[in-house]
A = this chain, B = another copy of it.
Amino acid sequence: MSTGVNLKELAAELKLSPSTVSRALNDSYEISEATKKKVISMAEKLNYQPNPFARSLRENKSKTIAVVIPERMSSFFSKVVDGIEEITQQHGYHLLVYSTHEDVDREKKIVNLLMNGRADAIIMSVSSQTSDISHLTRLHERGFPLVFFDRICTDIPTTKFITNDYESGFEGTKHLIQQGCRKIAFLMLSKELSITKDRYRGYLDALKQAGLSPEPQLNITCCQEEEQNVEAIRQMLMSPDRPDGILSSVEKLALATYHAIKRTDLKIPDDLKIISFFSNLSIASLLHPSLTTITQPAFSIGEECAKLLMKKLTKPRQPDLPNQIITIPSKITIRSSTIAV
């Protein structure tokens, strides 16, 4: 890799000092318009590209944001990253993207690697296994800019972006009840997760409001193996006190439910109605029957995270990221899977 021309060589070519050339390129007021022009045109001619590491070393910032997500194969997270990239690219920032694969040990390793300053900030959604958050508090206590979205750490005093999970859980459940469901199951990733807790509270409150009581055997927690999830759901569907409705707080488990039901004689929505948090709208309407969804504004979430960080990182003297939760509402789209027969 032949590295191109550097500042010193460019300066020599121009018979100027490196400092002058640097200032000219950075549009300093100290340099006359005439020399600025000369420098810029020569820089273009020689295709001068400043060395990012020299600059990072000197300026102590990397123009890089780290994004840490639990998995890549998810329309939700893909869209969030797209949203982040949309904004950061406008500011010349680069994106390091890491997947934890829902593994808290990998999450810890990644976060620890990021403590050396390779990135100027982190945008993340924690893994479903994450309950000990010492690796994240340490990061935050060092003053490292950290933003959470969706799966947040409530205890870390920074800015978090979420959707109206409680309301969505509540409305989703209420919708099922209105469509005649009386035994509603709740599918989740992990009890630890912020989103699970909020959605579950909404679910419980909707049940209570309808005079229904939650039944413990109707809660299913996701594991990493798809086949096991499908089997667990099938078991539930085969049991004598099977549910007549499902609120899935995870895309993956809605799909698993569709798989499971293919292994039974039951029909959606006749025997079982289902509503799910789901981001892949194209797929939702192609499922058979089409799936009623709660869709989070993934792209906007990414954009908002990035906008906040760009403000913090590119403006001169910005305060710390405020300890607040910003809520962007989801949207419920009713399709065939919850239509009363």
Contacts and interface: CB of A to CB of B under 8 A. Distances in A.
Interface string A108-124: 00000101111010000
Interface of A: 1-4, 49-54, 56-57, 60, 62, 64, 72-73, 75, 78-79, 81-82, 85, 94-99, 101, 113, 115-118, 120, 142-145, 226, 255, 258-259, 280, 282-283, 285-288
This chain's copy number in the assembly: 2
A3 B60 contact: yes
A286 B285 contact: no
Contacts of A85: 98-99
Contact of A255 (B64, B94, B98, B282): B282
Given A1-B143, A57-B51, A144-B1, A78 B73 contact: yes
Contacts of A287: 286-288
A113 B4 CA distance: 13
Given A2-B143, A96-B94, A97-B97, A51 B285 contact: no
A57 B288 CA distance: 56
Contacts of A120: 1
A95 B94 contact: no
9 contacts: A4-B116, A52-B118, A53-B57, A72-B79, A72-B82, A73-B78, A73-B82, A97-B97, A259-B282
A175 to B, nearest CB: 22
A51 B145 contact: no
Nearest to A54: B57
Most buried by B among A60, A79, A118, A255: A118
Contacts of A73: 75, 78-79, 82, 280
Contacts of A60: 3
A288 B113 CA distance: 45
Contact of A62 (B49, B53, B99, B288): B53
Contact of A51 (B54, B117, B282, B283): B117
Q: 5 smallest A-B Cβ distances: which pairs?
A: A288-B288, A49-B116, A53-B56, A72-B78, A53-B57
A245 to B, nearest CB: 20
Contacts of A53: 53-54, 56-57, 62, 117
A199 to B, nearest CB: 22
Nearest to A3: B117
Nearest to A94: B96
A262 to B, nearest CB: 8
Contacts of A144: 1
A84 to B, nearest CB: 11
B3 A52 contact: no
A116 B2 CA distance: 10
Given A56-B53, A283-B283, A285-B259, A117 B1 contact: yes
A75 B252 CA distance: 14
A99 B82 contact: yes
A239 B73 CA distance: 37
